[in-house]
Copies of this chain bind each other. A is one copy, B any other.
Amino acid sequence: MLHAVIMAGGSGTRFWPQSRKQRPKQLLPLAGSESLIQQTAARCQPWIPPERIWVVTNARQIEATREQLPQVPPGNFLVEPCGRNTAPCVGMAAIRLLQADPEAEMLVLPADHVIQPDEIFQAACQRAASVLVQHPEGLILFGVRPTYPATGFGYIERGQPLADRADAIYEVARFREKPDAPTAAEYLASGRFYWNCGIFVWRAARILQALAEYEPELSAGLQQLTDAADWSAAVEQVFPTLKSISIDYAVLERARHVFVLEAPFGWDDVGSWLAVARLRGADDAGNTIDGPWSGVSTKDCIVRTTPDHLVATIGVEDLVIVHTSDATLVARKSDEDGLRKLVSQLEQEGRGNLL
């Protein structure tokens, strides 16, 4: 059976002041009235029942995450005691899934991306799962066809199409790190490259077998969870000792039978405030507004505020204005570097409590 594993451990600062350590991006309603993680779960639910939806998160976020996903059984939340990148996370989830379902197949999903429409996504996932029938050893990645020469994503270079499949599924020729701008332009022009969007489909047993093959030490650590009488205690004890490494690096870049399926759905990693305008759309003046607002001569702005607080703007353009109860950001819209600088400046100023 296909299970969804939602990876929800992120804690970025790109949506400060709305995002905080306790309330990261995936818990915010950035692309609709529901939060990104709620949208992610809802996207699976028509065809994966909540009992087969699993969420990996951390201790700081578990409470808020559970609150947002009341339909998911409490036992389906897996808590990382500390961040160890995606390989230990995927491994832990695979072990837990196998305990529940020895034939478990995993659809691994980031909690904080936007995908649409849901129907196409569903069909694509089912297509990926169908590959596992012919290729039970398959490690399947979704590849997003680039729309611009992005330097912020890893790329997947496709190789030969699978001989026994009529649809756009290929062997992976190579993985490429985030490229510089000229290289990204070449990738885009070649037509052979995809963005790695971090959505994977494989059999739980297969990914554990691959981890054992390529990361035996990590695999041995994880093995202690399989045999544990007390799952939580074992996780608390073992997880911090595991090697911090991505599943891409640990397995996908080394293994055979790694396939890329061209994603037929719309995908957005919601990487900055700009994405919010892109996803929510704008009014005639180019403004994307969420909350009470009144503007004079205002264009191309993103304004977000709480229901009890008016933001008024006069004669401004290309700003992001985000009001929260204890902090307000007013920033040039495209200045993502500036936001990183601000966050470290707040830390230095002793204002870490606002992060």
Chain A interface (Cβ < 8 Å from any Cβ of B): 17, 292, 294, 296-297, 305, 308-316, 319, 321, 323, 325-332, 335, 338-339, 341-342, 345-346, 349, 351, 354
- Least CB distance from A347 to B in Å reads 10
**From B314, B325, B331, contact of A316 by CB (8 A):** B331
A296-B345, A328-B328 given; 18 more Cβ-contact pairs under 8 Å: A292-B351, A294-B342, A297-B332, A297-B335, A305-B328, A309-B325, A309-B326, A309-B327, A310-B326, A310-B351, A310-B354, A311-B328, A311-B330, A312-B327, A312-B342, A314-B329, A314-B341, A314-B342
Is there an interface contact between B314 and A335, defined as CB atoms closer than 8 Å?
yes
- Are B315 and A329 in contact, with the CB atoms below 8 A? no
CA distance A345 to B346 in the complex (A): 36
Asked if A330 contacts B312 (CB within 8 A), the reply is: yes
Count of chain copies = 2
B310 and A345: CB pair below 8 A? Answer: no
Residues of B within 8 A of A328 (CB): 305, 309-312, 321, 323, 328
Whether A316 contacts B315 by the Cβ 8 Å rule is no
Given A294-B351, A310-B327, A327-B310, decide whether A332 and B345 contact each other with a Cβ distance below 8 A. no
Q: Which chain B positions have C-beta within 8 A of A329?
A: 312-314
Listed by A's residue number, 7 A-B pairs whose Cβ atoms lie within 8 Å are A294-B346, A294-B349, A296-B341, A296-B345, A309-B327, A314-B335, A321-B328
User: A351: shortest Cβ distance to chain B, in Å?
Assistant: 7
Query: How far apart sit A323 and B325, CA to CA, in the bound complex (Å)?
Result: 11
Chain B residues contacting A354 (CB-CB under 8 Å) are: 310
Closest Cβ–Cβ distance, residue A167 to chain B (whole Å)? 45
- Whether A315 pairs with B294 at a CB distance below 8 angstroms is no
Write the chain B residue with the least CB distance to A322.
B312
How many angstroms from the CA of A311 to the CA of B331 in the assembled complex?
11
B339 touches A314 (CB 8 A): yes
- Complex Cα gap A341–B296 (Å): 7
Residue of B nearest to A332 (CB): B315
Task: Pick the 7 closest A-B CB pairs, nearest first.
Answer: A315-B332, A314-B331, A314-B338, A315-B335, A310-B327, A296-B338, A296-B341
Closest to A303 in B: B330
A217 to B314, CA, bound (A): 45
Q: Give the CA-CA distance A147 to B292 in the complex, in Å.
A: 41
**A346 CB contact (under 8 Å) in B297, B312, B323, B342:** B312
State how many angstroms separate the Cβ of A282 from the closest Cβ of chain B. Answer: 18
